[in-house]
């Protein structure tokens, strides 16, 4: 049986990325094109024009909200000390980060602090190419989490049935 390998300590920056910005711009452009087509092609009556105008207002509200969400993405660094995950303000993370999207050169993670606050973090290889492999090892390693309330991941053999006899197959 192979001993578990533990990832080395690493500190990695996170923040706004151009990939989500381009994705938001594409979706906003497609939404605007559809709304304008609806406005131009399907508004023969005043009632339909009013509905299309409300649709345009809703598109503007959603696009502005998405842009503000991207603009206000958290910035800082995520650190693994070999036992616990930390945010750069010294806040410990409850368990290891949860990977929601892995594009090999970019990671979208969510973390939850001990206070229960959740944060979404966007990490990119180009932020620190030298530490990227160490970060990925730390995120995916089966290391033990030492945070209170976290579940430790162990590599143990199955227990023997009562009486110590091994099961017959």
Q: What is the pLDDT of residue 130?
A: 92
Q: What is the pLDDT of residue 29?
A: 92
Q: What is the pLDDT of residue 47?
A: 75
Can you count the helices (H) and strands (E) in the chain? 3, 6
Contact 78, 85 (CB under 8 A): yes
In CATH, what number is assigned to the domain containing residue 132?
A: 2.30.29
Q: Which two tokens stand for residue 100?
A: 């929601």
Helices (H), 42-121: 46-71
Give the distance, in angstroms, between the CA of residue 114 and the centroid of all CA atoms in the same chain. 18
Same domain, 23 and 63: yes
Residues of the chain with pLDDT under 70: 1-6, 42-45, 143-169
Domain assignment of residue 134, given as a range = 10-15+75-140
């Amino acid at each position: 049986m192979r001993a578990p390998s533990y990832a080395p300590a690493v500190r990695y920056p996170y923040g706004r990325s151009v990939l989500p910005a381009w994705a938001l711009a594409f979706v906003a452009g497609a939404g605007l094109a559809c709304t304008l087509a609806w406005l131009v092609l399907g508004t023969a009556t005043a009632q339909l024009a009013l509905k299309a105008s409300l649709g345009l207002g809703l598109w503007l509200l959603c696009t502005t909200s998405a842009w503000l969400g991207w603009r206000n993405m958290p910035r800082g660094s995520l650190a693994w000390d070999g036992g616990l995950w930390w945010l750069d303000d010294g806040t410990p993370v409850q368990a290891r980060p949860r990977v929601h999207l892995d594009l090999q050169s970019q990671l979208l993670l969510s973390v939850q602090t001990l206070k229960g606050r959740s944060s979404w973090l966007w990490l990119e290889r180009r932020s620190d190419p030298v530490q990227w492999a160490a970060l990925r090892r730390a995120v995916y390693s089966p290391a033990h989490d030492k945070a209170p309330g976290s579940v430790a991941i162990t590599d143990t053999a199955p227990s023997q049935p009562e009486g110590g006899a091994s099961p017959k197959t």
